[in-house]
């Protein structure tokens, strides 16, 4: 096979969830497209690495600093939603429910992987809380072991500071059948039951 094709396949296999078969399929798809497609993708890749940096306030990915959300004065600056990754901001924004600002930890505490509180952006969060008027922090880390550990750690260090702290609810996802829900989610849903 052509060296340039096998090189493209090789680079594509580095992407998450893309094995050799999928990479080969993608490479041949790109070869069948008009050259504009490969050029547009190449330009988008270069652009994204050249133009996108981190917001100095919330640490989200952005093209301008502070980011759009941090510089939007209509949003409540005293309310912070703490998430693990920039992609989580997208997920929360889609709900159109949250009108405060964010803080991105860029990870979660995971002792098994050797990731402690100092390896994620917790110091930056504490500094932000110390220097501006933050009234409430909503912890929206994942409902995984790592996300829960991180939430517990944040509770331990933020509660003594007298900040209102909350954790997003866990439970049965809307639209699901109970028979397909795992036992830990279901027991959490029972614990957190609400009076009707």
SS3 190: helix
Tokens at 188, concatenated: 């959490």
Question: For residues 96 and 193, which CB has a smaller minimum distance to a copy of itself in the complex?
Answer: 96
Residue with tokens 């609400």: 194
Q: How far is the CB of 48 from a copy of itself (least distance, A)?
A: 5
Cβ(55)–Cβ(76) under 8 Å? no
- 67 closest CA partner among 80, 56, 79: 56
Question: For residues 49 and 96, which CB has a smaller minimum distance to a copy of itself in the complex?
Answer: 49
Q: How far is the CB of 97 from a copy of itself (least distance, A)?
A: 17
User: How far from 183 is each of 34, 140, 163, 177, 187, CA to CA, in Å?
Assistant: 50, 22, 33, 13, 6
Q: How far is the CB of 47 from a copy of itself (least distance, A)?
A: 5
Contacts with a copy of itself by CB under 8 A lie at: 1-5, 7-8, 11-12, 14-17, 22, 24-31, 35, 37-49, 51-52, 61-63, 85-87, 89-90, 93
Question: For residues 35 and 160, which CB has a smaller minimum distance to a copy of itself in the complex?
Answer: 35
């Amino acid at each position: 096979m052509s060296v340039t094709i096998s090189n493209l396949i090789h680079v594509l296999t580095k992407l998450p969830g893309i094995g050799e078969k999928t990479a080969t399929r993608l490479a041949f798809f790109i070869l069948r497209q008009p050259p504009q497609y490969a050029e547009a993708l190449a330009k988008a890749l270069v652009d994204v690495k050249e133009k996108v940096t981190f917001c100095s306030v919330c640490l989200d990915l952005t093209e301008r600093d502070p980011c759009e959300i941090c510089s939007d004065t209509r949003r409540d600056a005293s309310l912070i939603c703490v998430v693990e990754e920039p992609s989580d901001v997208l997920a929360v924004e889609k709900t159109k429910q949250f009108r405060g600002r964010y803080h991105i930890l860029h990870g979660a505490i995971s002792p098994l992987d050797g990731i402690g509180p100092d390896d994620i952006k917790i110091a930056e969060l504490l500094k932000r809380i110390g220097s501006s008027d933050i009234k409430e922090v909503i912890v929206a880390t994942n409902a995984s072991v790592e996300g829960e550990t991180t939430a517990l750690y944040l509770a331990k260090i933020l509660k003594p500071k007298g900040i209102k702290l909350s954790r997003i609810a866990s439970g049965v996802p809307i639209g699901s059948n109970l028979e397909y829900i795992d036992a830990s989610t279901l027991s959490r849903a029972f614990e957190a039951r609400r009076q009707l």
